[in-house]
Chain A
Amino acid sequence: MILAMLGEAWRAMGANRLRTMLTMLGMVIGVGAVVLMMAIGQGAQYAIKQTIAAMGSNLFILLSGSTSAGGVRSGGGGNLTLTVSDADAIAELPGVQAVAPIHPGNAQIVYGPNNWNTSIIGTTPGYLDARSWPVISGAAFTDSDVRSATRVALIGKTAAQNLFGDEDPVGKTFRIRQSPFVVLGTLATKGQGMDGRDQDDTILIPLTTAQRQVFGAQFPGSVRMVMVQTGTQEIMPEVEASMTELLRQRHHIREGMENDFFLRNLTAAADSAAESTRVMSLLLGAIASVSLLVGGIGIMNIMLVSVTERTREIGIRMAIGAREKDILLQFLLEAIIISVLGCFIGLLLGIASALLANELTGTMVIISGSSVVVAFSVAATVGIFFGFYPARKAAQLDPIEALRYQ
């Protein structure tokens, strides 16, 4: 029965191919747009999540503050107000999990005939914890390396490739400026940071080595920034308050005076980026859904025309024994076939264009099973919803009137 009906619906659609295809095109475009937008939106969300995971979670960054001398104000970090002992004191605060004082800079590195300019970060082993950045071969440097300012380094993937090519860098000696350093280990791949910089183009060395032997320091023990990680995201505001309190005390800042440091919550910034991406992908999906709706209305429109055109046929069918539900099913099936077939083509088109977008622009796209299922079920629902009214109209025709229809 259903099979015979399917055959008839197929024949009816074939009778006016151009019209059927144009009707279907509405669905194709609608579903294609939804799939493409969802792929792009989910890709963007995934990229943001990756970035956040790469940055490390629950992070604060403390920057040395500005000073004002004779009306001239230096920018953040212009005056090195933070010290290693500040960092040690912060480490004692409840809720703080890892603390890493940082002394960054850029320098030329040399190995044999190769040289490369990269970012050098002088820090403590806590940095690897704070940024959840594992060492994948070799070993990390230790607190004793920091105490004795040894010339050892951990090397990021990009820097390693540029300096050592295919060679294994672990155990090799290279030079930062003029000083020889031994590679202790290589760092896991991090990818792009929030600012688009390649985080793997970097070398980590002990803080003291950076201060004393590579960049020099105005005041021994002072640092440009300190990275602080808390145990959970919930206690971040608490830790923020106690950290500010502690630093104001240590820096002897009186009531009403400005902080001489900057405290930034990196996780909050990342979260808001993730949130805005989520909203954007929802918005894209919503806009695409409108075209799906328009496609559905197109189906209803054509089905209504089809019912009118085939009034006589409906009358004949009723005269030879079709029940109301037979007629209803016949027209409903046509609408469903159009929308499901349109959906299928739209799905392929959406996936193809998402892959093409990825190929051409490098945009991250994710085609998830759930988005395919959603698109399919929405299309079937649209078919039933917009096909039902015309089908019911057909089923409720008066057979005598219908037979008389010219």
Chain B
Amino acid sequence: MVDSAMRDAVIRIEGLHKSYQTSAGLFPALKEVNLSIIAAEFVAIMGPSGSGKSTFMNILGCLDAPTSGRYILDGRSVAELSKDELALLRNRTIGFVFQGFNLLPRMTLLDNVALPLIYCGIEHKERQQRAQELLAKVGLADKTASLPNQISGGQQQRVAIARALVNHPRLILADEPTGNLDSHTSEEIMTLFEELNSEGITIVLVTHEEDIARHAQRKVHFFDGRIVSDQVTPRQEATA
């Protein structure tokens, strides 16, 4: 499956290195990483803390630049893009879902979901309409005027997913999206991700829980800045 469709790769990473300057000297966070992810894949990135998976996610999300190596996202070499073009990529091509939800606390849920649309110049009316649709899709159609602190953590994460989806991205990057949730709610969120994946959205998810990772079709293990295993497994049905 990985080999069959290289030309349809959403993400192609070749010889990626990333080092940080620390007080103790140059610290290599990623060493010689190669990875291709094709459209509509559901990939779980796993590994212990300090293994470089967060750094890898930051680079995938165009929030950080590699020290060396190539990163081709959706056919474009990221290293050659300007800051504004990177912002546009984050706005249109990528949707972020964070562990801590990262909703803006003073905005209603509707405004939170509509926020990315402001940055690509979409009119107020259409923004509201699209945000409304997405909230309905994640099952929160009746909470549009609530504030983030008035709803549960699971609901907040649904709102964050709606926000990530609002600009129809090809790729969703989720960094420990269930880390702050109980197991039951986690299952609900993962089911939502599976649904989105079945609609053709590529999902890359960082987790250290096997339970969560089994929702993915492919598990990539990081250790000490390198990919140590890359397994494709048929999806297991949820049991919980």
Instruction: List the interface of chain A (C-beta within 8 A of B).
Output: 1, 3-5, 8, 11-12, 15, 312-313, 316-326, 399-400, 403
Contact = CB atoms under 8 A, between A and B. Distances in A.
Given A4-B118, A400-B58, A400-B63, A323 B84 contact: yes
B121 A1 contact: yes
A403 B57 CA distance: 13
Given A4-B118, A399-B63, A400-B64, A320 B106 contact: no
- Kindly list the 3 A-B residue pairs having the minimum CB-CB distance in the complex, ordered from nearest: A321-B91, A323-B87, A320-B116
Describe A's contact surface by its main secondary structure.
helix
B124 to A, nearest CB: 7
A322 B63 CA distance: 12
B88 interface: yes
A323 B115 contact: no
5 contacts: A1-B121, A4-B118, A321-B87, A321-B92, A321-B120
A3 B125 CA distance: 12
B124 A320 contact: no
Given A15-B106, A326-B119, A320 B163 contact: yes
A399 B94 CA distance: 15
Identify the interface centre among B104, B121, B127: most chain A CB within 10 Å of its CB. B104
B83 interface: yes
A312 B103 CA distance: 10
Given A4-B118, A400-B58, A400-B63, A320 B107 contact: no
Interface in B68-98: 83-84, 87-88, 90-92, 96, 98
A336 to B, nearest CB: 18
A324 B83 contact: yes
Interface of B: 58, 61, 63-64, 83-84, 87-88, 90-92, 96, 98, 102, 104, 106-107, 115-116, 118-121, 124, 127, 163-164, 167
Given A4-B118, A326-B119, A321 B90 contact: yes
B115 A317 contact: yes
A337 B24 CA distance: 46
B106 A322 contact: no
Nearest to A330: B118
Given A316-B104, A322-B119, 16 more contacts: A1-B118, A4-B118, A4-B124, A5-B118, A12-B106, A316-B102, A317-B119, A318-B87, A319-B61, A320-B163, A320-B164, A322-B87, A322-B91, A325-B84, A403-B98, A403-B102
A320 B91 contact: yes
B119 A321 contact: yes
Nearest to A1: B121
B63 A319 contact: yes
A396 to B, nearest CB: 10
Nearest to A399: B63
Contact of B124 (A3, A322, A324): A3
A115 to B, nearest CB: 79
Nearest to B127: A4
Given A1-B121, A4-B118, A319 B90 contact: yes
Contacts of A11: 106-107
Nearest to A310: B104
Contact of A323 (B58, B92, B106, B119): B119
Contacts of A321: 87-88, 90-92, 116, 119-120, 167
Contacts of B127: 4
A149 to B, nearest CB: 89
A309 to B, nearest CB: 12
A320 B115 contact: yes
A317 B117 CA distance: 11
A5 to B, nearest CB: 8
A4 to B, nearest CB: 5
Identify the interface centre among B96, B102, B115, B119: most chain A CB within 10 Å of its CB. B119
B162 to A, nearest CB: 12
A321 B63 CA distance: 10
Contacts of A317: 115, 119
A75 B91 CA distance: 91
Contacts of A3: 124
A328 to B, nearest CB: 12
A395 B107 CA distance: 21
Contacts of A322: 87, 91, 119
Contacts of B98: 403
Nearest to B85: A323
Identify the interface centre among B63, B102, B118, B121: most chain A CB within 10 Å of its CB. B118
A314 to B, nearest CB: 11
Contacts of B96: 319-320
A199 B5 CA distance: 103
